[in-house]
Structure 1
Amino acid sequence: MEDHPRIRFNRLLEKTESLGLTGSDLESLPSLKRLKVNYDSDRSLLIYVSFFIIKTVIFATIIFGFVWTFNWPILNEEIASKLLSIQGVSSKYFEREECVVHMPHDLQNIFRPPVSCEFCQNVTHIPRVTGITQEDFEKKYAYSGHPVVIADATKQWTAMGVYNFKFFKDIHENVSGSGTNVKGTDCQFFPYKTNFKALADVFKMTIDMAYMRDGSKPWYIGWKNCDFTIGSILRRHYSRPYFLPVLAESSKTDWIFMGSPGYGANLHIDNVGNPSWQAQITGHKRWILEPPPECYYTCTSHMEVVVQPGEIMVLDANMWYHQTLIEGDEIAIAIGSEYD
């Protein structure tokens, strides 16, 4: 630590002060002049490169806007097809895509409009309830933004004894046209911190790899099921949660999250439009909730709960920033959906 540049510089500075040298004396030193020339040169180069990049981006944006607006000299369909192909979307799914370029999540957070903090006022913890009626759930939790864990919501389900990595691997490998290789709006895939590029890569793992018996790395992924056949197979083993309001419609889309202990999703906020429920089929998942920044001084800044197998977490993920972490020693599998 004695040779640290900052310490050595402070020693030199103390020595110059003890010798009575002034700032003007130091500026006249040849070595300091050389340092100043090098600094100014590097700074000028950085400014030049920055301006060049900015001008290039502006020029490219203008050209692209002209081509897209007038649909000339290249057709918009050709541009869209090329961009989607680069993103790995199969040509047969082009017509289903709503957007050619999706806004990154970080930018979505930056431009997210502020919300009223009423939804999180006086919410100090995440309760765990059983036997709640549809009326009470609707009154207290369904649309209030208050998170809750329903502890007895999956008692009649067979999913707990059926869903495992091999089950999902088998149905995705055996169901023809399941879209497992597709990346796109209809089959959203979240690799999180893994190196998986698509859902098909996940199910290329052997059972030993998935359970890390061979020393493989931990992993955690999520995806939106887009295949009706697979959806019907999944629904053989679970039913509409009993507590949902009578008039509420649950989405026909299944969201599945799966991964090994020690991994999970980073802190983020969703943009799915409706509240959602997520059933923990196997494993234990810790949920960490935080209000949006504009509510930090109004609401409890941090809440946690560990959801056990057989329990359902109900959350408006469009309001709460949330993070998850798989705990314990087994693969965690969760399935859920939105409701209106």
Structure 2
Amino acid sequence: MVGRWGRGSEPDPELRSLPFARRLAYFDGEFERLRRERRLPASSSARLRALEPLLRRGPRRSPGPRSALAAGALLLLLLLLPCGLLRAGPAARFLSFCGRALLIQVCQKYPTVESVQKVDPKVVLQKYLRQNLPLVITDGAEEWVALRDFTVPFLARLFSGHPVLQNTIVCSYWDSQDSLEKSPSVFLEKIYHQRLAHWAVQWKNCNKAAAKVIRGFYLRPYFLPAVVELAESNWLLMAAQTENGGTGDTFVKVGDHDGDLLMWIAQLQGVFEVQLLPKDLCANNCTHYTLRLSPGEAVAVPLQMWEVQYRPSSATAIGLAATGNWLQDSR
């Protein structure tokens, strides 16, 4: 099959006439045969080298077996990914690699995380989210009630006194004390009464009624375009720096994304130091970014490429986060 692909990477006309399921089965068989015959590059670095001419969009030349294979894989990737029709198998795994290789090219050319304000949501979608590029929005949370109200005493009263928050169980709870109760109200009471010197806690408000209570304190981020559908749940991230302000505070990862494509974090009190770590294959080829978020600022992070972790860079730091996906729309 590879030998039939010409300069334009066009498949055999007979193959194009087959039903889609038959074509997919054919390609799966071809990739399996290439793997058995050891004609498929075995290592990640070798596969990346095979893809480099295509990724750089250099001058055309007659493709060898590897570059033709890469051309075919990229063409299939473009055809199959929008349809959600890839299945498990050697072809799917190789095409998945091709997608990650394209992401590597993106992050290698992105020297810093840009900061913007009064940004058009359409620009955010086209220039950043769809390119898997994070960005900081310096006015992302300026008009929120939470920016003024969310302090440790206020949250301690809210979670211990509000009938909905008091009687619902949160998800993905974690605190630095490994508390048995797994309860925001219990932990916040400890903090409020200053029984802890330095601490960190995060939890996900996954109950619909509880998440709605928290949403009453903030607006939908203005920088997110209408095609971004936010999850109903939201996160609270809280931490206090060590007494001497040193680097003893370890970074805490924000997990449990439920497969969402986007996370935003808004800084409400104090300062968080946020690290963006490239995922999987990108980790060996791309740098990580360290940001400092001040009150009123927000960061939008595409989760396909990046993992998010944070630590306090002030006496007390409080942030709010949520995830979401963007729907298909015309470009």
Post-superposition shift, 1:286? Answer: 0.6
Q: Which of 172, 189, 197 does residue 180 from structure 2 map onto? A: 197
SS of 2:241's equivalent?
coil
Q: 1:188 aligns with which of 163, 171, 180?
A: 171
Gaps of 5+ in 1: 1-112
Distance 2:187 2:283 in 1: 42
Of 130, 140, 147 in structure 2, the residue corresponding to residue 143 of structure 1 is: 130
Larger Rg: 1
Residue 160 of structure 2: aligned partner: 173
Aligned counterpart, 1:219 = 199
3-state SS of paired residue (2:267): strand
Structure 2 stretches lacking a partner, 5+ long: 1-95, 243-248, 326-331
Shift of 1:332: 1.3
1:281-336 CA distance string (max 9 Å, x none): 11111112222342244322x3211111111111123532333110112x211112
**Does the 8 Å CA contact 1:134/1:244 hold for their aligned counterparts?**
yes
Q: 1: distance between equivalents of 2:259 and 2:146?
A: 27
1:296 & 1:259 partners in 2: Cα distance? 27
- Seq. identity, %: 22
Q: Name the structure 2 match of 1:233.
A: 213
1:156–1:271 distance in 2 versus 1, CA, 3 Å: closer
Q: Provide TM-score, normalisation by structure 2.
A: 0.59
1:253 aligns with 2:226: no
Q: 1:316 aligns with which of 302, 311, 315?
A: 302
- Tell me, what secondary structure is at the counterpart of 1:289? strand
Q: Which residue of 1 aligns with 2:276?
A: 289
CA shift, 1:212, in A, is 7.6
Over 3 Å counting, the alpha-carbon distance change for 1:143 and 1:188 in structure 2 is farther
1:100 maps to none
Code of the residue aligned with 2:171 in structure 1: it is Q
Q: When the two structures are superposed, what TM-score results if normalisation uses the length of structure 1?
A: 0.57
Higher strand share: 2
Q: Report how far residue 179 of structure 1 moved.
A: 6.5
Q: What amino acid sits opposite 1:191 in the alignment?
A: W
Q: Which amino acid aligns with 1:304?
A: T
Q: Work out whether residues 222 and 256 of structure 1, in 8 Å CA contact, stay in contact via their aligned partners in 2.
A: yes
What SS is found at the alignment partner of 1:204?
A: helix
Letter in 2 for 1:210: I
After superposition, the CA RMSD in angstroms is: 2.7
Distance 2:150 2:228 in 1: 26
Q: CA deviation at 1:154?
A: 1.5
Runs of 4+ aligned structure 1 residues displaced above 6 Å come to none
Name the structure 2 match of 1:339.
324
